[in-house]
Structure 1
């Protein structure tokens, strides 16, 4: 299976990059599964139902979230009728929506997508290891699912790496999101799981993690807010990770970073 994971889409600039770029990648790379993190898609904070549909229309098979899941209050309601919108599985019991979904790919295969959120330097939600373990055991790779993608939304690289090794051999891909800076440690772990500490963002990198530079820079200098954070609106770079799995096992056979757009060095897989 050919999988593309797209890092945190930030604001209109990021959405434009997805809409303009993703359909061509699906066609040219013959992608089976596309997972997009959309938790910053609405003005940098949260997601709306119309944006959820916009990302699906561009070719996303599943959309994951994170700590900004509910910044657009409508998400608390429409997530119940959005089966491919996946919030962190370790949110408290009773939280609307789902933390994992088994989706049918455009080629008729089954992919389990799990979203988790970290506890280190983040709000301490339920234990992500126990919750992710439960989801993996309920839908085992190679039996109930042809591929398993885990989006772990966290601040600490150590916690993300721990999740990677915890899932090794049971997931096709474990990829971190949240920091908006792509890491260069994409690799296949010893058990066959592709791993990347952070996919980076799909947004304008001439910014401070996707936000127009003036207000966040001013807060560092002044020590207090003077206005709202607004997403930078320059041309965006689509960032993420590409994985090709072994059809017999669902484990990763190849992995590569993806960066398409200005400012960052271009990276595309050389195996497709």
Structure 2
């Protein structure tokens, strides 16, 4: 099985990049399943029903979220019913939505799990123990499992990679919007990348307008951030998984921007 994961989609610039590049991605990587992190898809904060429908219509099979899950209140109207979208599983009991699901595409099945870190982020339940419980439950369903760990600290993400080595097919970090260069397959067969990177404005600061961000750093004053209006960049990865074992056999970063991309 080939799976493409698209890093945090930021605003209309990120959505435009996804819409333009998905046909190219399908042609180049031949993925069976495409997953995207959508927690910043609506003006940089949260997601709404129309954007969710667009992503699925364009060819995304599953959407993960993060700490901005609830920023657009419209999500409360559909997250319980949309089985292809998940929010962090280690939020308190009774939180709307679901923390994991199984994505089907043709003859392929991929379990999709979303977790959120506790370092430098709002309080949540232990992601490591939540992962243990979920993977134990999924073990009888499928061996192919993707975990999106939405976390700030690189140490926490790396620790999760080792914690799930041999139990998940892929552990990929999101949230920091900067793609890391540590893609590897761990000894137990788990593909790992600390952060998939961002899909959005290339020349902002983590997707936001750089002048606003600079103003905040220089003055320390409250500043309203807007999604930058610049050329786009798309970041993510492609992983190949042995369906019979759930072990990853190859991981490859994807990083393309508006200046370097040539439609094929």
TM-score, length of structure 2 as denominator length: 0.96
Residue 146 of structure 1, CA deviation: 4.5
Residue 10 of structure 1, CA deviation: 0.2
Residue 35 of structure 2 is matched in structure 1 by 35
How far apart in 1 are the matches of 2:24 and 2:236? Answer: 15
Contact 1:77–1:96 (Cα < 8 Å) also in 2: no
Contact 2:46–2:70 (Cα < 8 Å) also in 1: yes
Residue 181 of structure 1 is matched in structure 2 by 178
Aligned partner (choices 225, 228, 232) of residue 229 of structure 1: 225
Residue 133 of structure 1 is matched in structure 2 by 132
Residue 255 of structure 1 is matched in structure 2 by 251
How far apart in 2 are the matches of 1:103 and 1:23? Answer: 20
Q: How far does the alpha carbon of each residue in 1:79-137 deviate from its partner, in whole angstroms, 9 at most, with x for none? A: 012111100000110000000001112x3211100000000111120011111111111
Residue 188 of structure 1, CA deviation: 0.2
Q: Which moved more, 1:124-133 or 1:191-200?
A: 124-133
How far apart in 2 are the matches of 1:42 and 1:224? Answer: 25
Residue 198 of structure 1 is matched in structure 2 by 195
Residue 187 of structure 1, CA deviation: 0.3
Q: How does 1:50-129 map to 2 (within 5 A)?
A: 50-105=50-105, 107-129=106-128
Task: Please report the RMSD computed on the Cα atoms of aligned residues, expressed in angstroms.
Answer: 1.3
Residue 154 of structure 2 is matched in structure 1 by 157
Tell me the number of residue pairs that the alignment of Structure 1 and Structure 2 aligns: 261
Contact 2:210–2:228 (Cα < 8 Å) also in 1: yes
Contact 2:202–2:257 (Cα < 8 Å) also in 1: no
Q: Secondary structure at the match of 1:83?
A: coil
How far apart in 2 are the matches of 1:100 and 1:15? Answer: 24
Contact 1:176–1:196 (Cα < 8 Å) also in 2: yes
Q: How far does the alpha carbon of each residue in 1:170-191 deviate from its partner, in whole angstroms, 9 at most, with x for none? A: 1110000000000000000010
Residue 269 of structure 1 is matched in structure 2 by none
How far apart in 2 are the matches of 1:211 and 1:127? Answer: 30
TM-score, length of structure 1 as denominator length: 0.93
Q: Structure 1 regions of 5+ residues with no counterpart?
A: 267-272
Query: Given the alignment of the two structures, is residue 245 of structure 1 paired with residue 241 of structure 2, yes or no?
Result: yes
